[in-house]
Amino acid sequence: MKVDEEGFYNKLLDYHNILYLCHRNADPDAVSSAFALSEAIGGKVGLVDGCNRVASLLVDKLEIDVVENPNPEAYDLTVVVDTSTIAQLNDIELCHYGVIDHHATTALTENAAFYLHRNKTSVAEIVYDVLKCMGAPIMNRTAVGLMTGIVTDTGHFKHATSDTFRTFSNIIESSGVEYAEVLELMASTPQDVSMRIAMLKTANRAEIERVESWLVATSHVSSFGGSASSMLINIGADVAFVGTLKENSIRVSGRAKRDAVNAGVNLGQIMEDVSADYNGTGGGHAGAAGIDVVADMEEILWACKQKVIEVLRNKTNPSSL
């Protein structure tokens, strides 16, 4: 059942023992959103498979009490936060659950008891609207978390909308937290040598295909695929795909510049389409998405790249449609 912000809040009031469950390698948007809800309504923040570097720093700085590898059966309700597929939860068995999410496609809503979905640039913005609907005060720790979630999920506002800036401004005004505080927290995130090596290997292995003035890059690395694909965008690619080997499966992280998205590239849809061909899971946003499949690395990278090239060629040569 789809609900609005007030309906979501009222549903949560029916439960006493709530788990706010984040996707694997949880990012600041997921962690901060789960934390904000747990602070305002009560409950526990759950991590199925750790969190990324910035989110880990956020957990430490804000002293967030998290439960590692929680069992949903131990709770009256599980609220799945910022997650579009069960694969992102390592196929954990969900019992009675709700969903709060912002991804273009969210398969988990089908069997949810209730869900709140908005086309926002981050879940943190949706959570802020829930808190506002409740009349809950935006405390310092909550504000720092939500602001960090918004900044990171929008790529430092690269994918922000007017609504994004409006919500961010409202959080500052209602909490008194300064933007500089969030930037300082993020700047203190250490970059270990293994990540730097991964970025260099990604760039060295990159294969580039040109479609008129568009550049589509593919590469592979053993870890940090998301950061590596963003790095390829930062150094010149319009669209980038980076594959990583995860035990017996392949993970491909995709990123696209705003101009490519405006030209019709929708990575979330592309990843969903490719995953369907290989019985995998995939999805995300137009400018940032991922896929998990059991297949050959080069084959999957090629399939993702070809779908982007098709879009860009049709944009460049509309007569070919």
> At residue 295, what is the residue type?
A
Q: Distance between alpha carbon 23 and the CA centroid of its chain, in Å?
A: 9
Q: What is the DSSP letter of 264?
A: T
- Does residue 241 have a pLDDT over 80? yes
Tokens of 300: 């999957």
* pTM assigned to the model: 0.79
- Does residue 321 have a pLDDT over 90? no
- Does residue 275 have a pLDDT over 70? yes
Largest distance between two CA atoms of the chain = 60
What's the pLDDT score for residue 96?
94
Residue of higher predicted confidence among 164 and 193: 164
Instruction: Give 138-191 pLDDT, tens digit per residue.
Output: 999 999 999 999 999 998 898 899 999 999 999 999 999 999 999 998 887 666
Residue 316 pLDDT class (50, 70, 90 cuts): low
- The CA distance from 283 to 85, in Å, is 8
* Look-up of token digits 């995300």: 284
What lies within 8 Å, CB to CB, of 124 at 6+ separation is: 29, 32, 33, 36, 145, 146, 147, 149, 150, 153
pLDDT > 70 fraction of the chain, expressed in percent and rounded = 97
- Does residue 320 have a pLDDT over 50? no
Residue of higher predicted confidence among 181 and 192: 181
> How far from each other are the two terminal CA atoms of the chain, in whole angstroms?
39
What does the pLDDT average to over 255-274? 93
> Which contacts qualify for 263-266: CB closer than 8 Å, 24 or more apart?
263/214, 263/311, 263/312, 263/315, 264/311, 264/312, 264/314, 264/315, 265/239, 265/308, 265/311, 265/312, 266/104
Instruction: Give 58-97 pLDDT, tens digit per residue.
Output: 999 999 999 999 999 999 999 999 998 888 898 899 989 9
- The CA distance from 269 to 104, in Å, is 8
